[in-house]
Structure 1
Amino acid sequence: MDQTLAHLESLGYTLPEVPAPVAAYVNCVRSGNLLFLSGGLPINGDRKVIGKVPTDVSPEEAAEGAKIIMLNRLAVIRDEIGSLDKVTRIVALNGFVNSEPDFHGHPQVVNGASEFLLEVFGDRGKHSRTALGAAALPLNVAVEINMIVEVG
């Protein structure tokens, strides 16, 4: 039994279907014991977090979008290695926020992902991070996140 998946479900979350890439790339590349995950978008079925922060989307809504991305990325990881228990460390997370030029709360938006990973993985979820603003993102999403994950 995948204990990490069971813990995730005990927190009230379920993994979505693995999202299909929206262009000419793959969701994940494995090199040795590292997984390099492509940028994930805050889209899960009809649920989409679209627009500029903070004009169209509040920072809090964008942080929820970051959590949607993490659920999607966890689905990719599980698909790649078979069990979330094989994750030994979330190494790095890079977050990009589709923001107005005068918005400076990028870290709070990306915290939606970081805090979620800590909740799911505990110490294995501690990671290095970048949180940047962007003039525009694919499909006009509010946030995009890529990550590097160490697996056993």
Structure 2
Amino acid sequence: MSISQRLAELGLELPEVAAPVASYIPAKIHGDLVWTSGQLPFVAGELPASGKVGTDVDAEAAQDLARICALNAIAAAAAAVGGVDRLTGVFKVTGFVASEPSFTGQPGVINGASNLLGELFGEAGAHSRSAVGVPVLPLDSAVEVEVAFTFA
């Protein structure tokens, strides 16, 4: 089943690629990999939540935000390679969680991104990953995710 078919089966649509908020491009190709810039959880150009996970945003809501980040990363990668069905797998995920100092659930938050990628790519969605707690993210986002995809 193609990625576009799997997206439709899950009731998901790729969003428009978010416009960069600084001096960078949304995705860059190197060899058979397309690396995305960090993707914030924009929905229709807006952040649905902001602040620190553990105080302003609970872990479950942050996991949903990470899922949105992954969907935005797919859109950025697909635009770079000429279509979502050219994406063949996931190589690496890096997730950043704006965390209050005692919050240690960053891996669970970034599971929102990893689980979506697994749902879409199956075994080819298995990836290496980092989940990092940080004091603040751009635009006071609670979560940011970058992904390296394989493509053909």
Q: Which runs of 4+ in 1 moved over 6 A?
A: none
CA distance in 2 between partners of 1:67 and 1:30 (Å): 23
CA distance in 1 between partners of 2:34 and 2:91 (Å): 10
1:2-151 equivalent positions in 2, closer than 5 A: 3-45=2-44, 46-151=46-151
CA-CA distance at 1:47 after TM superposition: 4.9
Contact 1:39 1:144 in 2 (8 A): yes
Partner of 1:43: helix, strand, or coil? Answer: coil
TM-score by length of 2: 0.94
Partner of 2:37: helix, strand, or coil? Answer: strand
User: Any gaps of 5 or more consecutive residues in structure 1?
Assistant: none
1:85-106 Cα distance to aligned partner (Å, 9 max, x none): 2222200000010001100000
1:65-88 Cα distance to aligned partner (Å, 9 max, x none): 011111111111221112322222
1:14-48 Cα distance to aligned partner (Å, 9 max, x none): 11111111000001111111111100001112452
User: Any gaps of 5 or more consecutive residues in structure 2?
Assistant: none
CA RMSD in angstroms, aligned pairs only:
1.3
CA distance in 2 between partners of 1:5 and 1:84 (Å): 6
The structure with more strand, counted as a fraction of residues: 1
